[in-house]
Amino acid sequence: MRYFFWTTAALLFVAGSAYAAPSIALDGRMFIWTSQDHTDNNNWSELNYIDWAAGVPGSSTYLAMLADDSNDAEMKYNNAHLMNNGNVLGIVCENNTKNQFKIYEINRNTGAATVRYDGVSGTAIGYTPCIALDPDNNRVVYNIEFGWENSYKLRDTTNDGNYDTTGSKIPDNDDPPHSLLKDAHMHAGNVWSIGKEPWLDPFLGYHSDTDNMNTAWSFDDWAPGQYYGEGAQYLWAGDPDADQKTDVYFCNQGSNAGNATRVIWHFEDLNGDGYLQMSEYHSSFQVSESDYSRDLVGVTDGDNWMIVFADSDRHLRYINLLDNGGMDETGFLLNGAGGRVLLDAFGTSGGQYIMMDQTAAAIPEPTTLLLLGTSALGMIGYLRRRKMR
C-alpha cells in the first residue's frame, strides 16, 4: 500500500507541474484604449479597464470617452500609454482636416481627462498620429507622424504635467517614410514605431535623442510583396532576457501561397544601433491563418515573461516567453468560469491598445493548486502511516 501512496503522489506532482498554463497569473489593472474608425458617425477614443486578481479577470468597466466630434474627427489609430502615476496618456486627432491634435492624461480612477498638450492648428500631422512615452521619465514624450514627416520631442519643462515645448523637428532620413503610423513605443531612450507606405509593405521606424529618424526594418527588402500591414500592425519593445539589448516584438500580416498569415516577429537590436538586420532576427510565431493580433504588450512577475495580445475576435491570448526572449506556447486567457476573455465592450474597428499596470507576482492556477495539493496529501498520508508502523 505504501508504494501506492508514493507512486500516486509522484504522478500527481508531475502532472501538476506539467500543466500547461500562462507563465504568469495576471494581477493588476489592464487598460484598453480604443480609437474608433473615423468612418463612423460617432467618432471617439474610449478607455476601459479590467481588474485582474490571481489570473482571474473582473468585468470590463468604462472609464472615459474623448472627442465625440461633429467634424468627423479621424481617430482610427491614435495610441495611448500607461504613465508612472498609473494614469493613461492618449493622443487624439481633433478634426477631419488632419491638422490639429491633443494629448490627454486620463485619471485611472475617475476618468477625468486633462489636456496636456494642444497641438498647433495648421500643423500637418496626418490622421494617425501616435505618441511614444519615455517609461523612465514621463516628462518626455514623442509625437510621431510619418506621412506628413512631422515628429517632435515634447517636454514637460516646468514639471507641471503639461508638455509645453516641442523643440526642433526630428529630421527624417528616409524618403518616402511610412505614412500610416499604427503604434510607437520607447525603450532605453530610443523610439520604435511601426507603420506602412500606402497599401505597401510595412516599415519599422526608429530614432533617438542623438539620431535622426530612420527606417529600422522593411519587409519589402526581405521578401518583396510577401508581407503587408493593413489593420494589424502593433509593437512592444523591452528587454525580457535582461541582457541590456532591446527586444522588439511586432505583429504583421503576410502572404503564404496566396493566403494571409498572421505572425508575431521578434528581433533583438544586438549592436544597439537601432537597425534590425537579418542577423538580429530571433524568431517568429504564427498566430493562425485567419487570426490577426491587435496590440501586444509584455508582462512579467519578476521571473517569467509573456506577451499578451488581443486577436481579431477580441479574445485575449498569451505567448509564454523563454529565458532568451524566444516565444514558446500560446493559449487563451480564461475567466473564472473557464471561458475566453472577450473584450466585448469595445469597438470592432480601428485601433485597440493594451496597457497593464501590474501589482503582484504570479499565483498558480486553481487546477495546478488542486493537483499539487492532492500530491502533498498523498505524501503526508504515506509518511504518517509509515511513522505509525
- Which residue type occupies 227? Y
Give yes or no: residues 140 and 258 share one domain. yes
Give yes or no: residues 51 and 4 share one domain. no
The most confident of 126-130, 161-165, 245-249, 365-369, by mean pLDDT: 245-249
Give yes or no: residues 232 and 379 share one domain. no
pLDDT of residue 247: 96
Which three-class secondary structure state does DSSP give residue 381?
helix
Q: How far is CA 202 from CA 30, 107, 163, in A?
A: 28, 34, 30
What residues pair up with 144 in beta bridges, in sequence order?
Answer: 130, 151
pLDDT of residue 76: 62
Share of the chain above pLDDT 90, in %: 29
**What is the 3-state secondary structure of 210-230?**
CCCEEEEEEHHHHCCCCEECC
Average pLDDT value for residue range 302-323: 90
pLDDT in tens, 169-211: 666 665 545 556 788 899 988 888 887 765 556 677 777 766 6
Angle at alpha carbon of residue 358, lines to 161 and 79, rounded to 5°: 50
* Cell numbers given for 149: 514627416
In the block, residue with C-alpha cell 495539493:
373
Q: Is residue 302 part of a domain?
A: yes
118/67 Cα distance (integer angstroms) = 13
Give yes or no: residues 201 and 290 share one domain. yes
Q: Give 310-318's long-range contacts (Cβ < 8 A, gap of 24+).
A: 310/32, 310/343, 310/352, 310/354, 311/287, 312/262, 313/342, 314/342, 314/343, 314/344, 314/346, 314/348, 314/352, 315/340, 315/341, 315/342, 315/343, 316/340, 316/341, 316/342, 316/343, 317/287, 317/293, 318/22
Give yes or no: residues 233 and 379 share one domain. no
Q: Is residue 161 part of a domain?
A: yes
Domain at 81, CATH number: 2.120.10.30
Task: Verify cis geometry, omega within 30 degrees of 0, for the bond prior to 177.
Answer: no
123/328 Cα distance (integer angstroms) = 45
Give yes or no: residues 251 and 232 share one domain. yes
387/100 Cα distance (integer angstroms) = 79
Give yes or no: residues 320 and 379 share one domain. no
Give yes or no: residues 35 and 170 share one domain. yes
Number of domains in the chain: 2
147/125 Cα distance (integer angstroms) = 8
pLDDT of residue 285: 84
194/278 Cα distance (integer angstroms) = 18
Q: Is residue 346 part of a domain?
A: yes
Question: Would you place residue 366 in the very low, low, confident or very high pLDDT band (cuts 50, 70, 90)?
Answer: very low
Q: Is residue 24 part of a domain?
A: no
* Cell numbers given for 176: 518616402
Of the listed ranges 168-172, 264-268, 363-367, 384-388, the one predicted with least confidence: 363-367
Per-residue pLDDT at 376 exceeds 90: no
Average pLDDT value for residue range 265-284: 89
Smallest CA-to-CA distance from 145 within 125, 172, 161 is with 125
Give yes or no: residues 8 and 121 share one domain. no
Does residue 105 or residue 315 have the better pLDDT?
105
Domain boundaries, position 375? 1-19+368-389
Give yes or no: residues 81 and 5 share one domain. no
Give yes or no: residues 387 and 281 share one domain. no
Give yes or no: residues 233 and 254 share one domain. yes
Question: What pTM value is reported for the model?
Answer: 0.81
